[in-house]
A and B are shown apart, each in its own frame.
Chain A
Amino acid sequence: MTQSELMRIEADQICVDYNGTVALYDASLHLPSGCICGLVGMNGSGKSTLFKALTGFIRPSRGHIRINGCSVARAQRDQAVAYVPQSEGIDCDFPVSVWDVVMMGRYGAMNVLRIPRQSDRVAVRDALERVELLDLRDRPIAALSGGQRKRTFLARAIAQRASVLLLDEPFNGVDVRTEKLMAELFFQLRKEGRTILISTHDLSHVRDFCDLTVLINKTVLAYGETSKVFTPENLSLAFGGLPPDLLTGNSSSEDA
């Protein structure tokens, strides 16, 4: 376990505000390499904001983030962070094929004109094989099922060969088969030393396969091993006093 020395994600006391509205304050988080971590919170608790800060979409007004020990800008250049969007976040009628989408994961490694080399094609092919979509590679994404579309975006992250994967509500509206396949992939990716951060409000998935859990509500309330974080007190803090069993399976989308 020499790799566990290396911290994949280090966020120290980050604050984010949008025009004076505080979205996240004093959030600190340290995640080692090779782990699956659930990011649990209500809608508007700052999950998306944290993701945006980690991908460099927004800059925290205070605090700093290091990924693989480097700045976020450096991590972007190194293709270290992959973001897998929610299905609701993308235009499903966009005229691109499965292959095109996965190839987008390789853009950062290409030159300015984004002309794929043989190595890029190999990476895309491998990624498609791992999510079992190679047969559908020429299909437009408009003609995919929800689960297949999810796997397409997961393949893009795999093709990118990122060491940190951020997944936004990956289990929303997927069938049992896809869920199984994705869980298996997550375990493989963990074995390869990648760190997977899964944002969700479905607690049952977190219990099933997240090593670590981060509870978030405008700040990081608690984080650590899932079994230790999942106490009734912590959960009621995260969900504002509501009994947690009411919240499982809640699938409305999140803004902010």
Chain B
Amino acid sequence: MANSSKHLHLAVALDGAGWHPAAWREADARPVELFNAGYWADLVAEAELGLVDFVTIEDSLGLQSDDPFEPDDRVDQVRGRLDAVLIAARIAPRTRGIGFVPTATVTQTEPFHVSKSIATLDYVSTGRAGVRVQISARHDVADHFGRRPLPRLSAGAIDDPAVRQQVAEYFAEATDYVEVLRRLWDSWEDDAEIRDVATGRFIDRDRLHYSEFEGHWFSVKGPSITPRPPQGQPIVAALGHGGASYRLIASSADVGFVTPHDATQAADIVAEIDALQQQVGRREDAVHIFGDLVVFLDDEPKAAQARRRRLDDLAGAEYHSDARIFVGTPGELADLLQEWHAAGLSGFRLRPAALPHDLTQIAEGLVPELRRRGIFRTGYEASTLRGLLGLPRPANRYATA
């Protein structure tokens, strides 16, 4: 639905020293600086040089682990991270064009807090904020909160109907969560602040609205304490691998990240989410579907392959990912992106295997190549993230005038 443009969209997924577990050992890696603002500022500056639409920043409410369901005791990989929303807020005031889509976990957190923190990120970035909502199915993360024990899941049991039911519940909760975020963002009309000295009124309270959300997992009264943010509704993004997560994208997101391994799969996923969108009554809403790719980029294909092998050797195991792993030159990647774009994806979220190397290759190799082909911007054409994504500023659901 959103892919009518000749131009494609690009996002860069930032995480630690890069997505390969041995990336921190590269000569140009800065592993001791992962917890300094300067490190993130440099990465975002490079991404902004490449005029990408936005960066995402990974997050979780527990330590990283090699196992998606269990903690591990590894000491040979990056462990520890800073709050993604706060990294974005720390970097945004010093940038001018790029968008910020940090990750927020929805399973353990308060929608009221996340709503106002993303609204505030929109203020401090003057309209370039979004949020990627993420469920947390890990029992060890639940134990960090102690409010709601979660059953132990494992990769082997993923087809068990009880496990599927459990995971579907997390996504259903995420759907409610996004509904509350959006209601709270709309809970102030844009012109609610009137500063009318004659009547002594700072606001027109008729233009503030209670959210009155009551659901299975939480009830939220509202209104927000933060006025409607510059974009009205910051961008909501979610990563999906099928089933319940596609339903979340179709019902709630502005941008969905998906993980096809070829153009046919890409087309199938776009069609599937499009059908779900119609089912939930969002036919008219533009939803961008971005393909996720892990990228190893070098000027020569052999150099990229050699680098991947070297990193795998350091890690002691071949690197696997939910997303397709691309190894090659920026030109070859441009070919693939064009093919997948033609198959229906409106953009791509590239996960640099190693930072800063693969990010530099994106900004200074891939982007100029895409521009030569006439399918990528030559400058930031809009001042908001919605503008960059070609999404309109939404009307307020509560406004009657």
Query: Is B truly associated with A?
Result: no
Chain B residues in contact with chain A, CB under 8 A? none
Chain A residues in contact with chain B, CB under 8 A? none
